[in-house]
Each structure stands twice: as C-alpha cells, then as structure tokens.
Structure 1
Amino acid sequence: MQVRSLFKNIPLLLCAAGAVVTAASLVLATARRGLESAADSPGLLAGLALFAASLALYLVRRLRRPEASLAWVSLVLLHAGLLAALAGFFLNARYGEKGFVYIREGDAASFYVDKSDKDRKLPFALRLNDFRIRTYPNSLRIRSYDSDITVEDGGKKTNVKLSVNHPFSYGGYDFYQHSHGLTAGLNPRILAKAGPREAALELKFRETARVPGCGSVTVRDFIPSAVFPDSGIRDAGVKGILNPAYLVDLVTEKGAHFRRWVLPAAPESEQLGGCRLRFLDFKGVEYTVLSVSRLPFSPLILLGFALASAGCAGLALVIRRKVK
C-alpha cells in the first residue's frame, strides 16, 4: 500500500525535486557569473528536466482515464502546454546558438563569438556600411544608434537597417543591436563642417585637405576616450564613445599655424584661427556589436504557451461555474 502510494505521488515528488534543483542552480549560477549565465547552467536544465518528467507522468495518468468534461480537457491542455514549453526551452538551450558579432565600419564578418569565446561560422556575411550615433544636444549622452548592414549570401545581397528597438532576422538567425565603440590606431575618415560657409567635406586621417576660406587642415591624431591628467592628454581605454578627440593642424591662407585637440563635446575647442571645425560623424574607427541567436525550437515554446493559456481559460470557466 505504501509502495502504491509512493508511486502515485511520484509526479509530485519530481516537481518538488525540480523546484529545489532549479532554485539552487539559479542562486549558485547568479552568484558566480550573473543572472544572464544562469539560463544555460546545467543545474537549471536538470531542474527543468525534473519538471518535464513530472508533467509527463501526470499527463499520462490523465490520458489513461479520459473524461468528457471541460475540467479534464483544460487540465490536459495546461499540462501538455507546460510540457511543450519546457521541452522547447530545453532543446533551445541544448541545440540553439547564441553569441555576438563584432564588425568594424567598412568591414564584413561571417562568424560570431559564442559565450565560450569560440568562433562560430555564419552561413552568410554581414557588412557594416555605416554606423551612426545620435546624442542629445550639447551632451555626450547617447540618444540612439543604428547600423546600415548588407547581408551577403552568395550572390544575393540584402540591405537592412538595425537599431536598438528594431532587430532583424535572416536565415533562421535573429540579430539585435547590442553595443558599439571606437577603435584607436586606425586611419579614420571624418565628416566635418568647416569654414565660414559651413561646407561639408571629408578629411582623411593624416592627409592635408584644403578648406575654402580657412586654409589647410590636417588631422594628426585620434583618441576615442580622451582624459586630461597633469601629464597631458591620453586615452582612458574605455569602450564606447565617451570623449573622442582629434589633434588638428590648421594653416590659414595667411600662413598662420594652429594646432589643437578638438573635442565634439567642447564647442569652444572647435574654433581655430577664425575657422570652425565641427565633426559630424566618425568613419573607419567605429565598430558595432550585434547579439545573435538561433533558437529553432521557439515555435514549440509558443505552442506550449498557447495550449497552457487555453487550459487556464478552461479552468477559469470551470471555477466560475462552480462559484455560481
């Protein structure tokens, strides 16, 4: 009798064990590596497997004793839906792909880096044509940023625009705008407005350009995150656009020479010898970081939630009838 009672309570025992294992794995994984890593921890997957076993046993027991009632159908839908959702989550964690794609402006990437810092091949390439950052007026606080990307898949090319709140999907992969930054030591091309008439022009790094009404302008150096200690300007080495600075030489048409660090965040630094240099964009030094995921079993999760929702609705109707 006790053995039979124990067997009858196996689904409940599995559910309790799953709750303990899941809670313990979440706490340990979060304490060690953060909450984001807890989703892929072996302990969490083991806890979900126990939950799934409990639901499967309960569902088999229900199906062996069918009833022509709304309560029975609702319970079957609820447990079947939860089982499908857990199965989809488990399969995505086991066979899905997640990582990050790093692309410098003007370059293409055909691989991503997973959470183990291993390169994983993409079946196509992503080319970053342009990256734009918009800040609030008179501030370095970022308002928005987006990427113009071309997907190169064999001979097929698809142009997409990716921003923080507008991801895109291609070939079963989902891409989200994750972060960005500037890279020092390259040859940036800079869009600027210079001269009395605010004419737009392109300045190539360390090449002298003629600015009508101003003179000759040369960008000598570039620092992504400029700080000014007592020893002079240096790069703080912090990711992201914090305080970009350009060392500019200006030789006026009258032969006067000026050299200054120009900072977009400091409008007063833009005045050189009666000319104004205002940098509008950063070319060749920007990079974007895209989060990439391929979760092929997500439709199973959605189906599970749909079935579970239908089961909950049916149970709510049963309870309402009983209350009346």
Structure 2
Amino acid sequence: MRRENKTFLLARKRILGWFGADVVHIGILIILAGGIISGAGGFRKNLTFSEGDIRGLPKADFKVRLDKFETEYYPNGSVKDWKSTLTVLEKEEPILSKVIEVNHPLSYKGFVFYQSSYGWNWTNTSVEIWVRKRKDPSFLRKTEMKVGQRVNLEGENIHISVLHFIPDFIINDRNEVTSRSLQPNNPAAFIEGCKGDEKIISGWIFSKFPDFARIHSEKETDLSFELKNFKAGQFSVIQAAKDPGVNFIWIGCGFLMLGLALAFYWPSREIKVILEESQGKTEVIAGGIASKSREALQSEFEEIMTSLRRLR
C-alpha cells in the first residue's frame, strides 16, 4: 500500500497459527456439549446373562441373547479371558452375532456391549459326595446331586441330601454361616442323612479341608462324607452403554489437538516494512512479531533486511 511518499509492506507467514488458541477453545466447547448430551441421553447398565437368556434395553427396539459363555484360564488357574457369544434379535429374528471379550465390544444402533465380568449360579449347584466307612477302607460310594435333591445311598438304607451350598464359607460376628464372596475360595456343603424319616447325621463338609468336616450324629454311624467336586453354571456380566455425545467428544478432541498443534508447532510470524522516500533516498523502517520462536524470526528478519539493503 502506498500513501504519498511512503510505501507500506506487510508479510505474514503461517497465518493459521494465529487461530490455534481459538481452535482449542472451540474444541473445549464441543467436548462440553458432548458431555451434556451424554449426561442427558446416555446410560450404563450391567446385564446378567445365563446361556440362552434374552434381555431387552430401555429405548431399544431390539433384544440381546447370550448363546455361549466361556472362561479361559492360565495354567496357574487365574482367569485369562471371558468370551460371550451375543446375538442381536429384532422381532425375534437374529440380525447379527459376535463373540465379545474384554476390549472387543459389540456395537449396534448406538449401543455398545462390553464384556464386564462373570460369576457362578450357586443356587443350582451340583455336588459330588464320596461316602466311606471308617472300619471298611474298601467301602466307597460316589453320588452326585443338586442342592435340595435327595439321593438313596446304594447298599445302605440311608438317603442323603444337600440342603445348602456356600462358595466361600465363613462364620460372621453374629455366629452366622455366610459367604465371604461369590468366588469358590472355601466351598462347603451342608448335608443331611436320614434313615426313613429319622435323621441320623447332619453338618458341614468342606472341599478344600476334608478333615475339618463338622458332622453331628444323632445315632452312632460308621459313615464319613467328603465333598469331592461341585459344579455351578456360570453367568456372564455384560455392560450395556449408550453414549449419544461420544461423537461430539471425539470431534472436540480433534479440534483440541489441531489447535494445540497450530499453537505450538505452527507459530505465525509477521513483518511490517515502511519505505519512505526523501531527497532521493529511501529510509526503511521495519519490525516483526511472532507468537513463538522469536529467535527464528530474528534470523529471518535479518535476512530480509540484508536483501533490502542490496536493492539500493
């Protein structure tokens, strides 16, 4: 631009760097908006499935069925992975199936299904009990039954039943039998033996501590009982989540990262030069400004000034 005997020059470099802070603020606002949308319309809910169970969800026009659940273990017995085969149903018709595991969820119509946890259905436990005679080492009877079931002992006029099963046996401060957890850390079964309608034995037997059995005999008996094995159906815990604001949050994060990149790695620079002609000479007045890296601007500024001096 020229006015009278003065010429004004303006040079700008990396102009987008000026807008880095603005882009960061826009990103923050978008993230906040996404959080508000998620808080108003989103939810998270844990669903417990046994194999074959079908569950519905609020505000969903479909249902989910658990076809299969399996737990993988390391050689030392610790859990390695849980895998659930889920099928999405619409109007009772299967739409898609997927095996989900930790960090590999199923997504459908804005809903996401995560593998969260697992457990055992102890209310329908099946136990294996070995019956021996103290005075006859060759005597052994193996019997399997479910909790609440009565089984006749082969060769003996006795029937036995399991009334209770506790996965992690403990006696609390009120002297009550309860389970410390749902994990099978100290499995115990309360058994009862009857001859006809007459009870002859009752008490707790322990899987991991067979010698710690607490059997009360109403009548003298030579029988001993061991809890050898137990089986319970596992259930899968699936976390269902709907987060309608998640896309806004990701977009906001994108703006935030872009703004930070512009502000820190693309700093803008500006140089202003005034050329004033007087008495056949040209006087040069120049200055520069940079949002960052002023040393780099100084080096570039000196190169430009050197070039202008050569034009004399």
With the length of structure 1 as denominator, give the TM-score of the two structures. Answer: 0.52
2:275 corresponds in structure 1 to none
Letter in 1 for 2:65: R
Tell me, in whole angstroms, the C-alpha distance in 1 between the residues paired with 2:167 and 2:26. 54
For the 8 Å contact 1:78–1:311, the answer to whether it is kept is yes
CA deviation profile, 1:214-245 (whole Å, cap 9, x unmatched): xx996543224422469987224x55325443
Give the counterpart of 1:176 among 88, 94, 114.
114
1:234 and 2:180 matched: no
Deviation at 1:309, TM superposition (A): 0.7
1:278 corresponds in structure 2 to 229
CA gap of 1:303–1:72, structure 2 versus 1, over 3 A, is same
Letter in 2 for 1:282: A
% identical equivalent positions: 21
Matched ranges for 1:1-324 at <5 A:
69-104=15-50, 106-111=52-57, 120=58, 122-128=60-66, 129-130=68-69, 132=71, 137=76, 143=79, 146=82, 148-153=84-89, 154-156=92-94, 158-182=96-120, 186=123, 188-190=124-126, 204-207=146-149, 219-228=162-171, 234-236=177-179, 240-241=182-183, 243-247=186-190, 261=204, 263-266=206-209, 277-279=228-230, 281-283=231-233, 286-317=234-265, 318=267, 321-324=293-296
CA deviation profile, 1:240-265 (whole Å, cap 9, x unmatched): 32544334689xxxxxx997745455
CA deviation profile, 1:107-141 (whole Å, cap 9, x unmatched): 33223xxxxxxxx3543333344364859858xxx
Tell me, in whole angstroms, the C-alpha distance in 2 between the residues paired with 1:274 and 1:165. 45
Deviation at 1:316, TM superposition (A): 0.8
1:37 corresponds in structure 2 to none
Deviation at 1:312, TM superposition (A): 0.7
CA deviation profile, 1:19-56 (whole Å, cap 9, x unmatched): xxxxxxxxxxxxxxxxxxxxxxxxxxxxxxxxxxxxxx
Tell me, in whole angstroms, the C-alpha distance in 1 between the residues paired with 2:25 and 2:146. 64
Tell me, in whole angstroms, the C-alpha distance in 2 between the residues paired with 1:135 and 1:230. 36
Determine which structure has the larger helix proportion and give its number.
Answer: 1
Tell me, in whole angstroms, the C-alpha distance in 2 between the residues paired with 1:193 and 1:160. 39
CA gap of 1:155–1:321, structure 2 versus 1, over 3 A, is same
Deviation at 1:305, TM superposition (A): 0.9
Determine which structure has the larger strand proportion and give its number.
Answer: 2
CA gap of 1:127–1:259, structure 2 versus 1, over 3 A, is farther
Q: Note the aligned Cα RMSD (angstroms).
A: 4.8
For the 8 Å contact 2:188–2:227, the answer to whether it is kept is no
Letter in 1 for 2:105: P
User: Greater RCO between the two (CA within 8 Å, min separation 6)?
Assistant: 2
Unaligned runs of 5+ in 2: 1-12, 132-142, 154-158, 194-199, 214-222, 268-290, 297-312
CA deviation profile, 1:281-303 (whole Å, cap 9, x unmatched): 421xx544332211122122111
For the 8 Å contact 1:136–1:143, the answer to whether it is kept is no
Secondary structure of the residue aligned to 1:277 is strand
CA gap of 1:152–1:174, structure 2 versus 1, over 3 A, is closer
